[in-house]
């Protein structure tokens, strides 16, 4: 068996060329990734930073609701879930009509878990205390409080919850 010396010489050149091409491709990839981070990193960082700042502001706002005196959402941007908490048929639908007439968005309308609410209550999700107090004022309801007995995930996107009780 004899080996072809020409073939033995071509093999290392082929391997060397493959290694060089791979190294160049890796450098191009690193350069493109760096450019992508430089170009897209700032907008994403601002967007993510705004979300974090907004979440921190919501926590601060919920802990000290007296700092903000005006609502950040207009009435036509504020969604309200209406629940019947008194057991009287049609109470939630009637309250939803009153809320719509005041310019609010009405989300879900249904029954509360308990039908024994003595007073009508406005509950608000974190960060929407001012909107909750405004709705309570608009409807002449005495009670506005943070979510009590409900989780934010149960609100189906609504900002506020009105639970209709036997008394205003």
Mean confidence (pLDDT) of the chain: 79
Q: How far apart are CA 163 and CA 143, in angstroms?
A: 10
Tell me which of 167 and 88 has the higher pLDDT. Answer: 88
- Strand 143-146: give its sheet, edge to edge: 105-111, 79-84, 160-164, 121-124, 143-146
Among 3-7, 33-37, 62-66, 102-106, which is the least confidently predicted range? 62-66
Closest CA to 67 of 127, 118, 150, 26: 127
Three-point CA angle 38, 57, 62, nearest 5°: 155
Q: How far apart are the first and last CA of the chain?
A: 104
Give pLDDT tens digits for 31-65: 888 887 777 765 555 445 444 445 444 444 444 44
pTM for the structure as a whole: 0.57
Cα angle value 146/120/58 (rounded, 5°): 15
Average pLDDT over residues 140-146: 84
Q: Judge whether 158 and 132 are in contact, CB under 8 Å.
A: no
Residues 15-27 pLDDT 10s: 888 899 999 999 9
Report the percentage of the chain scoring pLDDT > 90: 36
Q: How far apart are CA 131 and CA 129, in angstroms?
A: 5
Q: pLDDT band at residue 99, thresholds of 50, 70 and 90?
A: very high
For the segment 66-77, what is each residue's pLDDT rounded down to a tens digit? 444 566 889 999
Query: Bigger pLDDT: 6 or 103?
Result: 103
**The pLDDT of residue 4:** 64
SS (H, E, C) 144-165: EEECCCCCHHHHCCCCEEEEEC
Mean local confidence (pLDDT), 1-7 = 60
């Amino acid at each position: 068996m004899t080996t072809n010396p020409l073939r033995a010489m071509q093999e290392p050149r082929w391997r060397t060329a493959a290694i060089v091409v791979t190294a160049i491709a890796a450098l191009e990839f690193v350069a493109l990734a760096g450019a992508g981070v430089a170009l897209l990193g700032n907008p994403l960082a601002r967007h993510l930073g705004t979300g974090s700042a907004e979440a921190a502001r919501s926590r601060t706002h919920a802990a000290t609701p007296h700092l903000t005196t005006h609502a950040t959402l207009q009435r036509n941007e504020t969604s309200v879930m209406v629940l019947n908490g008194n057991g009287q048929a049609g109470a939630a639908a009637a309250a939803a009509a009153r809320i719509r007439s005041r310019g609010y968005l009405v989300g879900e309308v249904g029954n509360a878990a308990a039908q024994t609410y003595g007073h009508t209550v406005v509950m608000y999700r974190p960060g929407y205390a001012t909107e909750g107090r405004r709705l309570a004022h608009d409807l002449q309801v005495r009670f506005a409080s943070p979510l009590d007995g409900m989780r934010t995930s149960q609100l189906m996107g609504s900002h506020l919850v009105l639970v209709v009780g036997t008394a205003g």
